[in-house]
Amino acid sequence: DSSDLASVKNYLSKNRVSPNIQYSGVAKGKNVFIIHLESLQQFMIDYKWDGQEVMPNLDKLYHENDTLSFDNFYNQVGQGKTADAELMLENSLFGLPEGSAMVTDGTTNTFQAAPAILSQKGYTTASFHGDVPSFWNRDNTYKSWGYDYFFSKSYYANADKAKYNLGYGMKDKIFLKDSAKYIEQLPQPFYAKLITVTNHYPYLIDSKNESIKKFDTGDSTVDPYVQTARYLDQSVGEFLSWLKKTGLDKNSMIVLYGDHYGISNNHKPAIAKLLGKKKVTNYDLANFQKVPFMIHMPGLKGGINHTYGGEIDVLPTLLNLLGVKNNDTIQFGQDLLATNRNQTVAFRNGDFVSPTYTKYGGDVYDSKTGKELKHLTTTQKAAVATLQNHVTTELSASDKVVNGDLLRFYQPKGFKKVIKSAYNYKKSAG
Ligand code: GP9
Ligand code: MN
């Protein structure tokens, strides 16, 4: 109700930071590709195995001068997994403590999402995914988010032939290749999100697509992860080559992100082996929640950015790069490039990481040294309490927005309400 909206706006007015003006509008009018790297974790960047780089294409992109790469970027998903990642990236709203907000609230809630914001700035917006449109209630939710197009399974003639082993969609190489013909027809500038899936639990791949041997941790669900990560990297490599061939790379900004962890915390012995440690602590597991986040654009002032941030921060970051005013929206993230940003990264369960303290799995650590703080001094207790209070307040304010559908009471200046009935994603006959 309106008092909830007032408390949310109060929280935001106290926590809003101005975006980095050095980057304002540097990508204005460019096409935007959002490449969703299924279950890819940051530890796999620059990872060597069997005498070779597991992901030569993503490693190369990560280190290029015109790529902004983030090495303290965390996934912040809850039970909604991919759906929570999509919600955060395109709305800067957290998923819910239980379940998936896209499923429970995607159809009926009012959103002011990236596709609607950019469509109203002259962009054509499209999402691509080889799975059925109903998975995670995407078809209904995308109408609430204002996607012009949603190319799902029925748009891909090769879908069944390229069936991914769990049935969630298509093998990424074929999916990305077959998406090209639709991308080429999109009026520019466009915003195109491409959702991969092959690197998804239980990471099975057919023998002809195997190009690196399994990890040897002895954990049967962890060991094939390297093979599907390599395959994902090859798929992205082929897609980037296609972009170069068409010249689309010249006038596009390419954003890549890992949506959430692939290897869960239930595989500690295997994680220890992969990290070259005797055993993993909750500090290691907190760091294991890092996922890749990269923004690549010819001429972009890139480099490795160490700011602590997460998926909630992506939308304000991209809108600033695209030169879209974003100072009166209800978004919980902060521009990752802003120099005075709050670097406390909230996990969905209330744990957090920050440049000073990490609180994960019931333990508190010094973030710089990784030392567990078993007995906090009064000063440390106060500092940790301040961070915890910020996280709890941020998460509950976001939950108020989603559970209370508060955006129906609020209209950012110049934003036009989305008319959901205007969208139809069915593949018309012929
Ligand atoms: C489903 C695919 C996988 O369409 O995106 O979703 P996840 O299981 O990662 O949430
Ligand atoms: Mn996922």
Q: Is 198 considered catalytic here?
A: no
ipTM value of the model? 0.97
395-420: pLDDT as tens digits: 999 999 999 999 999 999 999 999 99
Average pLDDT (3-14) is 95
Residue nearest atom 5 in ligand 1 by C-alpha distance:
82
pLDDT confidence band for 168 (50 / 70 / 90): confident
Is it the case that residue 68 has pLDDT exceeding 70?
yes
Q: Is 81 in the pocket of ligand 1 (CB under 6 A)?
A: yes
Å from CA of 387 to ligand 1 middle? 31
Is it the case that residue 129 has pLDDT exceeding 70?
yes
Neighbours of ion ligand 2 (CB under 5 A): 38, 81-82, 259
Is it the case that residue 253 has pLDDT exceeding 80?
yes
Is it the case that residue 166 has pLDDT exceeding 80?
no
Is it the case that residue 430 has pLDDT exceeding 50?
no
76-100: pLDDT as tens digits: 999 999 999 999 999 999 999 999 9
What residue numbers does the annotated binding site for Mn(2+) cover? 38, 82, 259-260
**Which of ligand 1's atoms lies nearest the C-alpha of 260?**
9
Q: What is the mean pLDDT of the chain?
A: 97
CA dihedral 307, 312, 317, 319 (to 10 degrees): 180
194-245: pLDDT as tens digits: 999 999 999 999 999 999 999 999 999 999 999 999 999 999 999 999 999 9
pLDDT at 370: 96
Is it the case that residue 287 has pLDDT exceeding 70?
yes
pLDDT at 414: 96
Is it the case that residue 165 has pLDDT exceeding 80?
no
Q: Is 168 in the pocket of ligand 1 (CB under 6 A)?
A: yes
Q: Which of 39, 86, 135, 175 to mutate to test the pocket of ligand 1 (most atoms within 8 A of CB)?
A: 135
Which pTM was predicted?
A: 0.98
Q: Is 139 in the pocket of ligand 1 (CB under 6 A)?
A: no
Nearest ligand, CA of residue 202? 1
**Which of ligand 1's atoms lies nearest the C-alpha of 135?**
4
Quick one: which of 113, 109, 154 has its CA closest to 134? 154
Distance CA 408, CA 16 (A): 21
Residue at 24: amino acid letter: S
Give per-residue burial for 212-250: e unless 16+ CB within 10 Å, then b: bebbebebebbbbbbbbbbbbbbbbbbbbebbeeeebbe
What does the angle CA 65 – CA 88 – CA 22 come to, to the nearest 5 degrees?
Answer: 35
Is it the case that residue 429 has pLDDT exceeding 60?
no
pLDDT confidence band for 1 (50 / 70 / 90): confident
Residue nearest atom 9 in ligand 1 by C-alpha distance:
82
pLDDT confidence band for 163 (50 / 70 / 90): confident
pLDDT at 167: 67
Q: Is 24 in the pocket of ligand 1 (CB under 6 A)?
A: no
| CB proximity list for 225: less than 8 A, separation 6 or greater | 199, 203, 215, 262, 263
Q: Is 197 in the pocket of ligand 1 (CB under 6 A)?
A: yes
Å from CA of 168 to ligand 1 middle? 7
Å from CA of 217 to ligand 2 middle? 23
Average pLDDT (356-368) is 98
Average pLDDT (2-27) is 95
pLDDT confidence band for 36 (50 / 70 / 90): very high
Residue % of the chain over a pLDDT of 70: 99
**Which of ligand 1's atoms lies nearest the C-alpha of 129?**
4
Average pLDDT (282-308) is 98
